[in-house]
Amino acid sequence: MATSKLMRAIRVSEFGAPSVLKLCTDLPVPNPGEKQVLIRVHACGINPVETYIRSGSYARKPSLPYTPGSDISGVVEAVGDGVCLLQTGDRVFTTGTVTGGYAEFTLASEDTVHKLPDYLDYKQGAAIGVPYFTAYRALVQKAHAKAGETVLIHGASGGNATSGQGVNVIIEMLSNVNLSNDLQLLDFGGRVIIVGSRGPIEIYPRDTMMKETSIIGVALYNATNKETSECATALFAGMETGWLKPVIGPEYTLDKAAQAHEDIINSPGASGKMILII
């Protein structure tokens, strides 16, 4: 598909503070290559990891300049050669993009694009990607959590009430602060699943020996296509039966992306998914 259309998108030309997120208004709309899909973006989820990447502190750095964003929802505009499961006009959401989601149009590989159920709107679609797939990978594929086990979702909170009982699984968002304490909270055979960290921490390894506990790291980009497909199937089942429903938090327009990054850093306890409305 040849096109001379232009689009608006956020571009990052240097790593640094949120101010490096610049709105460009004259970028060419990309063309889909083999097994790629061009999507007209309606909404894009904003994830904490995007602030780490933008600052240059993340282990994996994109080539500059780049457009942030992996979790978008929208409508298929065009498909490249070899795409079989999607067609123009499909409502979709993504778990990854090729050209970045803070934009009016984005390219994504077919295997990262999923049909958006009719009972979810575009805002909810943009809230699925990283948060839901990471949660499933952490709880099911890595922690192997079982019915009846106690799970603690641990972020930047302080004390934890466990009623004298150990916790079976801790999903840890801020391990550089909490990990040592997490090991004290675990029950025998408990698991700490590391989802987020902003620096180093010192722990006492014997704490893992006493109750034979485990520390397991999770990175969504390591998931195989089979694992991603398994996750998507489970999430769709949950959404279809109504017990899994994305909650939307603060909303920003594309030109307010820098403000959104400021807010996600300074308000880690915000309720609901932070999204850009494109």
Find, among 7, 96, 22, the residue nearest to 64 by Cα. 22
**pLDDT for 80 beyond 70:** yes
Fold classified for 133-220 = Rossmann fold (3.40.50)
CA distance 103 to 40: 9
109, 25 in Cβ contact below 8 A? no
Chain-centre distance for alpha carbon 80: 25
Q: Which tens digit of pLDDT belongs to each residue from 25-35?
A: 999 999 999 99
| Confidence grade of residue 158 (pLDDT, cut at 50, 70, 90) | very low
Contacts of 146 (CB under 8 A, 6+ apart): none
Q: How far is CA 266 from the centre of its chain?
A: 18
Is pLDDT above 60 for 61?
Answer: yes
Same CATH fold, 133-220 and 6-128+246-277? no
Which residue, among 237, 246, 271, 257, has the nearest Cα to 121 in the 3D structure?
246
8 A C-beta contact, residue 41 and residue 106:
yes
CB 115 within 8 A of CB 83: no
Q: What does the pLDDT look like over 115-136, one tens digit per residue? A: 998 889 999 999 998 888 999 9
What Cα–Cα distance (Å) separates residue 56 from each residue in 13, 237, 273?
12, 37, 23
pLDDT above 80 for 184: yes
pLDDT exceeds cutoff 60 at 141? yes
Question: What pLDDT, on the 0 to 100 scale, is given for residue 2?
Answer: 43
State what percent of residues in the chain have pLDDT above 70: 94
Residue boundaries of the structural domains of the chain: 6-128+246-277, 133-220
More confident site: 198 or 41: 41
CATH architecture of the domain with range 6-128+246-277: Alpha-Beta Complex (3.90)
Q: Residue 114 has which token pair?
A: 């999923």
- Quote the mean pLDDT of the chain: 90
Q: For residues 84-100, give the mean pLDDT.
A: 95
Question: Is the Cα dihedral 111, 237, 91, 98 positive or negative?
Answer: negative
CA angle centred on 261, ends 21 and 228, rounded to 5° = 95
